[in-house]
Amino acid sequence: MSSKRAAGVAKSFLEHAVKLWRRPPKGRQRRYLLALDEEVWGVREALSRELSGDFEEAFKELAHGPLGRIYEEVSRWAGSPEFGELAQWQIVFAAGLVEGDEEVLKISGGLSLRLSDVAESLAFQQLLGRSAVAHIFLYGSARFREEAAVLVGKMGERDYYSEVHEKKITREAAPAIYAALSAINLVSSAADEELVEHVVLRWISLSGGLRVKVVVQTGVGSAVAKALAARAPLESLFLSILLGNVLLFKMWPQLARLGSLGDAAREAWWLYGCLRERLASLAESEDLRRVELFYDAGDAARDAAIAYVIAKVSEEQDLSEVGKRLRILAR
């Protein structure tokens, strides 16, 4: 299964995000996104328009034969047209990260960001407990850190910090990469809801780190990170993403009747067991019985908890609680 076209789309996706970040368009929200701030949603809307043709062709290349048939069946389980859009973007982007090493952004003095850096950074965030600041999506790569160290040696620490880290990374590259990942549910910006009237750059560039800005890896983001770290085949990425998304779409209508995060976790575990068994049976019928699923029960509970917090905070209009609750989840 080729990922060359997908790598091109992933590269363009991140490049466009960086360009759009300087003036992100306004946009509306959809409930299935775990990212609530309008700047992130606006980035996704614009990216969808800019890359729609290439994106559709890339997905067609990936979703053929058995995987295409499985995708169609799982889409019916989800029961929502929004399922396809979100799952397809995740699949194409993740597939592009598997083998792609294209340069995404020239930063300064030979320092650059590549697709492989983003892939490694996602896996590194997983190792850190799924909680970090936006800079992790650059400095999570060993190659990027080494390149940055060389530039520090040439410029000196003070000049590097003020001219490169603050101006190029903190204000442009890191928030744009974060917004792109958040727009397709690989990380959650739900903690931003209480600050939605402010400029997103301020939240990310503040030195307080986790005390100010919580970037929480979603369950699907966790599954993608684990698959990337394991150098799993594209089939594993594809099916893991389908499992995570169909669980979220089946889970969301149940949130209104649930009384606690514990209830949400238990509901997610039950749904996860049922959906995993159905997907495994479907994969076996298509002779894909040995494909490993990286989306696990913990990831399911995590997505359910994030969705629960979003739903309840929105319902109660108690926006001051969302950041605190997500900090607890991120530990």
Number of domains in the chain: 1
Quick: pLDDT tens for 177-189: 887 888 888 887 6
Residue type at 200 in one-letter notation: V
What pLDDT, in 10s, does the model give residues 313-323? 655 545 455 55
191 vs 68 pLDDT, higher one: 68
Higher per-residue confidence, 22 vs 140: 140
Q: Helix, strand or coil for residue 107?
A: strand
pTM: 0.84
Which regions of the chain does DSSP assign to beta strands (E)? 103-108, 111-114, 131-132, 187-188, 215-217
Q: What is the pLDDT of residue 211?
A: 35
Q: pLDDT value at position 303?
A: 87
Distance CA 293, CA 305 (A): 21
pLDDT at 328 over 60: no
The strand pair at 103-108 and 111-114 is best described as: antiparallel
Q: What is the CA radius of gyration of the chain?
A: 19
pLDDT for the residue numbered 107: 92
pLDDT in tens, 255-312: 888 888 888 889 999 999 999 999 999 999 999 988 999 999 999 988 888 888 777 7
Domain coverage including residue 198: 4-330
What are the tens digits of pLDDT across the range 91-131? Answer: 999 999 987 889 999 998 889 999 999 999 999 988 877 66
